[in-house]
Amino acid sequence: MVHRFWSSKDFDAVLKYPNQRNISSLTLSVRVNLRPINPEDPRVAVGTFKPADANDGTPRAPEYTYQRWTPAEWESFKIGYKREVEDIFNWPTMGLWLQPSSLGLPDSRDELAQFMSRRPLSPRFRPTVQCGLSVTLMPTMGDHTHVNYKVLRLQEGEPDLRAYTGNTRNLQDSGVLTNRSLMPWPPRYGYRPQSVVAHELGHVLNLDHIDANNPKCIQGNELACYGIGTPREGNLMGVGNFITTANALPWLRAIYRLTSWTTWNATTTMPREVWHS
């Protein structure tokens, strides 16, 4: 049952009532339009594409050759996209939780009661919010989508096209993906297994690269931005798949819109019974 709902140009958010372990779910809902790029002439099987520069929108080198999507391949990509993104951003791959801290204020009691089950399994379960995400694939572009992606099926032997998302806070986003943006299994030799599509959706949620504040991160796509050579490189917004409290901003942003709580703390520690008062 939906408790509260919040919508913006970046994502929707749904907060549901707590279960018997006093765990409420906070699900970010993102509407994604995936658009296959095919040659305009139906008699032609191959086309060329130049990615637009992220800064000024002008074409940039190199030029990539792509092939026409078959209906079966396109359906498989869409299914794989939704499955992979939701796998990365939900339990058990992602264990991200929010816990309220009332700071002892008396007016927080009514708010706290809404995050506790009427019939809890144990009174020792603290109120906790479990973070998650869902993807709705939209059939067309429009104001109702949060992000629109062009998706290319690169020709065999073509170099990899670096996926990207043009992100502006609280505006509809757009970007480019390819058939290679999904994680292959087993991973290709010499490649670090990372969910490119989940990384790009992180940008839609307004997450920067994990080391965006590094002085060496100037344009936003240098190796320093991804935390290369540091423990942070394993983060989803680096070159890995781990999600930590450093990535909690979208859920914190949503919970503050949905509640009047004074403080929320993000944690990766699974909720458990508290044996002391």
Give a yes or no: residue 276 inside a domain.
Answer: no
Residue 71 resides in a domain = yes
Q: Can you give the pLDDT at residue 197?
A: 98
Give the count of domains, the chain: 1
The predicted pLDDT at position 188 comes to 67
> Domain for residue 48, yes or no?
yes
The answer to whether residue 219 is domain-embedded is yes
**Domain membership flag for residue 275:** no
pLDDT at 113: 84
Beta carbons of 154 and 48 less than 8 angstroms apart? no
For every one of its 277 residues, what pLDDT tens digit does the chain have, with 9 covering 90 and above?
A: 578 999 999 999 999 999 999 999 999 999 999 999 999 898 898 999 988 754 444 556 689 999 999 999 999 999 999 999 999 999 999 999 999 876 656 566 778 888 888 888 888 888 999 999 999 999 998 878 999 999 999 999 999 999 999 877 777 899 999 999 999 876 666 666 899 999 999 999 999 999 999 999 998 889 999 999 999 999 999 999 999 999 999 999 999 999 877 789 999 998 886 765 4
* Domain residue limits at 101: 2-267
Taking the CA atoms of residue 50, residue 235, residue 256 and residue 20 in that order, the dihedral angle to the nearest 10 degrees is 120
Q: Residues of 55-82 as b/e, b for ≥16 C-beta within 10 angstroms?
A: eeeeeeeeebebbbbeeeebeebeeebb
* CB of 194 closer than 8 Å to CB of 239: yes
Classify residue 273: in a domain, yes or no: no
Q: Is residue 52 part of a domain?
A: yes
